[in-house]
Structure 1
Amino acid sequence: MVRLFKHYVPHAVLLLGLVDLVLLLLAAEAGWVLRAHQIGIALTPVAARWPQLLSFAAALQVALVAVGAYGVGSFLSLRFAAARLAVAVSLGVIFLSILYFLVPSISFWRSNLLYSMLFACALLVGVRALLGQLLGGERFKRRIVVLGAGSRAARIRELAEQPGVNFVAAGFVAMDAAPALGDAVPRDAIPNLAAYVIDQDANEVVLALEERRNALPLADLLRVKTTGVQVSDFSSFLERETGRVDLSTLNPSWLIFSDGFASGRIVSSAAKRAFDIVASTLLIALTWPVVLLTAIAIRLESRGPAFYRQHRVGLYNQGFDILKLRSMRIDAEAEGQARWAAKDDPRVTRIGRFIRKVRIDELPQAWTVLKGEMSFVGPRPERPQFVAELERHLPFYAERHMVKPGITGWAQINYPYGASVEDARHKLEYDLYYAKNYSPFLDLLILLQTLRVVLWPQGAR
């Protein structure tokens, strides 16, 4: 894993992204050269068309990230990768059309663009056919040795067996007399732990002891560390590999002393607010016809107002009202008690089912963002009744209110819609990861990946 702006990116993904960037530049140049040859134009130096080449490559690279073309599926299935690439190239052309309209001086001819698109599709599919299995194989994964053979070590083994993980469990060392993993090597059978780690060709040791109090093998860990091998505790390892903070094993001291939750983010917070103002203003200006037509359709289908306000809990537990397009019947909570949305919820109207899937019902919240009560990116704000219930059942739930709530977020793009306390627990783990590792880079990644969620809805209710 490479940590970019406090967010972990797998080596294979980073390498594939760099290869794609080079191939997109080559595709753009090949399209230009082919069209110039067809119409008999003398070729100028490449330096003369760098703006065109870079704009083409950048737009398609952004589209690749947005549709999830660097997800696990792209390394496991060529068919999956080709489908995502086709959508990405189509979106890239839309991005380029907007960019060329705004900045005509960097535009391609349409014929150049067509040829470059074809070359890009062939090259991107080809590199995944040739390198997909290699990049997704063990060569680009970290090899770890786990100190421990109990339930925590068993969780690491289960995680290692899932497709698309970024590490290989090279060995387990039982540090006590009663290991839960039968194939774990007893510590007493290893004369030199540091030499054992090197023999396993491991570049990381993960401490997965069930009880650390007076049980830390300090001499072993020091010897391993001084050989140049990384030593990680269980919580940090899971955070890096899963993109979430594991609540079941979380120790408050880890949250206190680990990196993250930086409060001195004056510049990034100001930039985030500036982006929210500009983006919400543009969104309101561009989507008001869609909101208007949807509101008319809602009124035609069922009686009652097209919009509704709902009280939510925001930053520092302060309440505020969000504005949404109504997707349920007006008597959805006639008894006056808040209810979780359920799968195939009978309270949802036909229009409501559609606008929930494509997130049109969320568009009026741009006004809430403009007012500063929400941001585009952040933990999803919950209703006060649910917050009270969740704070009783879930540790650290109040910590998610230390950042401004958002329309989309790390939990929304990584976990399907939740409608229970257990779902809220999983989403809280992602929300804590976001609050702990916030950066403008992570915000940008979430915004781009939200497009993937809209195109391929998962669990919208």
Structure 2
Amino acid sequence: MFSVRTTRGAVSIILTDVVIICAVSFGITIGSLTDSILLSFYGPLFSYATLALLSCIVVSSSAIGRLYSLMEYLHPVDLAKRITPAFLLSVAFTSIFAFLAENLLVFRWQMIPALVLIYAILFFFRYFIFFILSKNRQRVLFLGYSGLARGIIEDDLAKRFKGYEIIGLLATADYRPGEEFYGIPVLGTVSQLEQVTRDHPVDTIVVALRDRRGKLPMEDLLRCRVRNVRVQECWSFYERIRRKLPIDDFLTPSWFVFENGFYQSSLNASVKRWQGVIVSAIALLVFLPVILLLIILIKLDSPGPVFYRQKRVGLNGKVFHLLKFRSMVHDAEKTTGPVYAQEDDPRVTRVGRVMRKLRLDEIPQLFNVLKGDMDMVGPRPERPFFVKQLGDRIPYYNLRHTVRPGVTGWAQVNYSYGDSVDSAKEKLQYDLYYVKHMSWYLDLVIVFLTVKEVLWGGGR
């Protein structure tokens, strides 16, 4: 089924944005040919080089502004709050290109008024999409209940993710029709599935029964499938809307063996590796002035070395030395031993606080990428001391070591700073989602979101 909430749908929205950009540019060019004032103002706007640059700027800025995240309905005011930063970012990029390429006549300052028109059209286009989505929400019925189902309902995902509406639940003997399960009405028992789905329009049935021996109404579920009602496992529904894997419920070692995903061909692995090398080399050249400035500031701020080497666990459990700019006082763990860094850690220096906020302390890890210890995108590497602890307490923790660790990752752009076992478990759910769905597209999304987090703050 095609949906703008899927990856394919998001790509379609991106292509539509490019068409809008081309249409606006072409319209201005046609107007310039018939109006001497427009011609003198805009000049030859419609060119392949201009369109390519303009499309990259608008799409990148829109991605950073989360304008391709259509999982939740946005009120016009909220949509404007996302459009505005994306527009300002586009103006900033346009100004930079206009300054650098002014003599090449590739980009012009006059592109900024064109951006106003483009984003005005994008605003109404997005609002139209959200309006259609709000009128076509999928009606979800839970078959049974579990801890995972309770978590979904308690998070009120039916309201947070406006593409779904939880209409009710079919319970076992513990609940009776007319009662509520954490605010969701109990419409009947599991054995009444056929009748309930005929009385209430249902698009998706989420199977949340833990004990299924003799309790799963297979014939009724098959009849629902024939009537084009989607049947999903609870963990699958959770993964689909939360973009992480629930490691506490349902999932078993055999699931990881037989489930789709968790596979990367040698070709894709080679492409990912060379992409990391090329991007790291370019990034080091771009950040060279910043690197030199940080070296000076770190030396002036506090005594001790500029760089900090720390053992981390990488691909297949191999230990390597991760390189960072020192953001804490020298020998910060001399008396305490290995401890989690805290959000407002008193050991962090003045310069270190700024570096950590902007993630500038991570820049030296680009050398780890060139060396082959890391990739640009992947689960963040952890220290051996904590890997041993977390591996003993969190199921499937070591599966994150089946891929190279990254400078940034899916967990870092989705979860706030954490310094406990519970937060490590939460981040692992995002890491395993990445391992399962690893692709160039997801890597690109993570890079865009990382830029957004650096510019506007967020996870770590």
TM-score (norm 2): 0.87
* Letter paired with 1:257: F
* Letter paired with 1:186: G
* Letter paired with 1:236: S
1:124 match: secondary structure: helix
Match in the other structure for 2:170: 173
> Per-residue deviation at 1:212?
2.3
> Per-residue deviation at 1:99?
7.1
Is the contact made by 1:194 and 1:227 (CA closer than 8 Å) also made in structure 2? Answer: no
Aligned CA distance change for structure 1 residues 125 and 47 (closer, same or farther; 3 Å): closer
* Letter paired with 1:64: S
Match in the other structure for 1:272: 272
Match in the other structure for 2:262: 261
Is the contact made by 1:74 and 1:132 (CA closer than 8 Å) also made in structure 2? Answer: no
Quote the sequence identity (%).
Answer: 34
267-276 or 70-79: which moved more? 70-79
Is the contact made by 1:150 and 1:181 (CA closer than 8 Å) also made in structure 2? Answer: no
For the residues of structure 2 that align with 1:273 and 1:97, how far apart are their CA atoms? Answer: 33
Aligned CA distance change for structure 1 residues 123 and 291 (closer, same or farther; 3 Å): same
1:232 match: secondary structure: strand
Match in the other structure for 1:23: 20
Is the contact made by 2:102 and 2:108 (CA closer than 8 Å) also made in structure 1? Answer: no
Aligned CA distance change for structure 1 residues 17 and 170 (closer, same or farther; 3 Å): farther
Structure 2 residue 109 is matched with structure 1 residue 110: yes
1:68 match: secondary structure: coil
Which consecutive residues of structure 2, in runs of 5 or more, have no partner in the other structure? none
Aligned CA distance change for structure 1 residues 188 and 240 (closer, same or farther; 3 Å): closer
Give the alignment of 1:47-196 within 5 angstroms. Answer: 49=47, 52-71=50-69, 75-93=73-91, 95=93, 107-111=106-110, 113-128=111-126, 130-131=127-128, 134-135=131-132, 137=134, 139-158=135-154, 159-178=156-175, 181=180, 183-187=185-189, 190=192, 193-194=193-194, 196=196
Is the contact made by 2:25 and 2:46 (CA closer than 8 Å) also made in structure 1? Answer: no
Match in the other structure for 2:385: 385
TM-score (norm 1): 0.87
Is the contact made by 2:25 and 2:45 (CA closer than 8 Å) also made in structure 1? Answer: no
370-379 or 251-260: which moved more? 251-260
> Per-residue deviation at 1:327?
0.5
> Per-residue deviation at 1:163?
2.1
2:160 match: secondary structure: coil
For the residues of structure 2 that align with 1:302 and 1:40, how far apart are their CA atoms? Answer: 57
Aligned CA distance change for structure 1 residues 201 and 14 (closer, same or farther; 3 Å): farther
For the residues of structure 1 that align with 2:257 and 2:227, how far apart are their CA atoms? Answer: 28
> Per-residue deviation at 1:271?
0.7
1 or 2 for the larger relative contact order (CA 8 Å, sep ≥6)? 1
Aligned CA distance change for structure 1 residues 28 and 313 (closer, same or farther; 3 Å): same
1:256 match: secondary structure: helix
Is the contact made by 1:315 and 1:401 (CA closer than 8 Å) also made in structure 2? Answer: yes
1:412 match: secondary structure: coil
Is the contact made by 2:72 and 2:162 (CA closer than 8 Å) also made in structure 1? Answer: no
2:287 match: secondary structure: helix
335-344 or 210-219: which moved more? 210-219
For the residues of structure 1 that align with 2:113 and 2:401, how far apart are their CA atoms? Answer: 50
Match in the other structure for 2:341: 341
> Per-residue deviation at 1:151?
4.2
> Per-residue deviation at 1:69?
2.9
For the residues of structure 1 that align with 2:408 and 2:434, how far apart are their CA atoms? Answer: 12
2:249 match: secondary structure: coil
Match in the other structure for 1:443: 443
For the residues of structure 2 that align with 1:153 and 1:325, how far apart are their CA atoms? Answer: 43
